[in-house]
Structure 1
């Protein structure tokens, strides 16, 4: 029987993160999953992954806090003893507003999780996967957003800017660690049917913007998960530094 790879997915309690976890379990990964606040959907995700044959470590943690990141990685080490892949999915859009109306506190909260949290997780993952540090290599996929290119005007420039930083980190890190056996890529979802929109205060956003998608509909979390799992797989072994739109052409 082939050895199961160990995948760490942040923000896996619901939405895209949960879809990634479920698909990864079905395709032979063991999992470390984090969530921040809602226990019931996170536990449901973990149970679905276990039913698919995965060993699952589920940790409640705020991935914007460096000490919490270190704690989860210590738990991962104790349970699995290694790491093969990381998906940086945990994130927040903050509140909706123009740049003039959005307080710096919102910018700080969004960047703390979407950028600094991502960096903290990535550093720990690279330390474990790098062949120069005794690791076996691996793959990282960052969940970005088409907002990084579209700008988020009138809604969430702060969120778009944080995803622009995600794209830059993806490209830069891919070049830093390529010789250490680690591939780094990103997916850039467009208009996807998740709770993100309602949580940001725009419950009608998907229906309102869907007619402007060239493929004529919003995407699903499962379609984003398919792209993520492909980038993690050996089928994408010659791809690094890529930012893959999953956006229906938008």
Structure 2
């Protein structure tokens, strides 16, 4: 039985769910992390198990260190961690910075930045060949907002993803001699329900025709990029940030 374990944070929906299913298909035992939607996470697990693969759903809010510890302890019981996909993240209501509260900004950075750093910390402790691990890969999910800035909408979210880009490069250099590769994907407008959670349920339909490829991307298209970065085919790639944006990220 394959004991290579992949943790996908925010794995119950969208890009996370697609990554979990594809990860299982290529041989990982998958830990499907979720914050609150147990039914959705169980649905992802059921899809994986129906294909003859292994998966478990684990509740944990990556905005809290104690929850992260419990998530990784559950993964330890499931097998040997060799892949982490730092996918969990939040957006908030569209507004300019002048109207944002300190509480909103703190929550955005706690979940999107601190949570990703702490999850990566726990992964490094387990994967590092200098600590007795087997090596592995970490892929952080950033956003083209890191390049475009989110002006007038969510500069706090864009700033959090800019931090993820910098963190990806720094950690890649830090653990390059420990058998761990660290990369990131930068999705553009992707057809998932994260837009609704930010108060823009129609964003994909409204923006799609005006995008360079005249459509939004799909969660599976991003997931395939993530799985490639984790695969042996990307063995010479670390510190790499792969745009999956249909050219949106190169617009002026």
Normalising by structure 1, what TM-score?
Answer: 0.96
| 1:81-100 → structure 2 map (5 Å cutoff) | 82-100=80-98
What SS does structure 2 have at the residue aligned with 1:230? helix
**Which residue is 1:21 aligned to?**
20
Q: Post-superposition, which runs of at least 4 consecutive aligned residues in structure 1 deviate over 4 A?
A: none
Task: Give 1:50 shift.
Answer: 1.3
Task: Give 1:223 shift.
Answer: 0.4
**Which residue is 2:179 aligned to?**
181
Query: Does the 8 A contact of 2:172 with 2:181 survive in 1?
Result: yes
2:86 and 2:49 map into 1 onto residues whose CA distance is 21
Query: Does the 8 A contact of 1:25 with 1:50 survive in 2?
Result: no
Instruction: Give the gaps of 5 or more residues in structure 1.
Output: none
Task: Give 1:205 shift.
Answer: 1.4
Query: Does the 8 A contact of 1:20 with 1:229 survive in 2?
Result: yes
**Which residue is 1:248 aligned to?**
246
Q: Which of 126, 130, 133 is equivalent to 2:131? A: 133
Task: Give 1:232 shift.
Answer: 0.5
**Which residue is 1:77 aligned to?**
76
1:209 and 1:150 map into 2 onto residues whose CA distance is 15
Task: Give 1:4 shift.
Answer: 5.2
Q: Which of 185, 199, 204 is equivalent to 1:206? A: 204
What SS does structure 1 have at the residue aligned with 2:175? helix
1:25 and 1:83 map into 2 onto residues whose CA distance is 14
Query: Does the 8 A contact of 1:11 with 1:36 survive in 2?
Result: yes
Q: Which of 220, 223, 234 is equivalent to 1:222? A: 220
**Which residue is 1:101 aligned to?**
99
**Which residue is 1:61 aligned to?**
60
**Which residue is 2:234 aligned to?**
236
Q: What number of residue pairs does the alignment pair up?
A: 248
What SS does structure 2 have at the residue aligned with 1:179? coil
**Which residue is 2:9 aligned to?**
10
RMSD: 1.1
Query: Does the 8 A contact of 2:92 with 2:199 survive in 1?
Result: no
1:100 and 1:54 map into 2 onto residues whose CA distance is 49
1:89 and 1:72 map into 2 onto residues whose CA distance is 14
2:202 and 2:165 map into 1 onto residues whose CA distance is 27
- Note the alpha carbon deviations across 1:60-89, whole angstroms, 9 max, x for none: 111110011111111211221x21110000
Task: Give 1:53 shift.
Answer: 2.4
Normalising by structure 2, what TM-score?
Answer: 0.96
Task: Give 1:94 shift.
Answer: 2.0
What SS does structure 1 have at the residue aligned with 2:53? coil
2:57 and 2:107 map into 1 onto residues whose CA distance is 24
Query: Does the 8 A contact of 1:95 with 1:106 survive in 2?
Result: no
- Note the alpha carbon deviations across 1:134-184, whole angstroms, 9 max, x for none: 011100000000000000111111100000000000000000001101000
What SS does structure 2 have at the residue aligned with 1:32? strand
Q: Which of 112, 126, 134 is equivalent to 1:114? A: 112
Query: Does the 8 A contact of 2:3 with 2:78 survive in 1?
Result: no
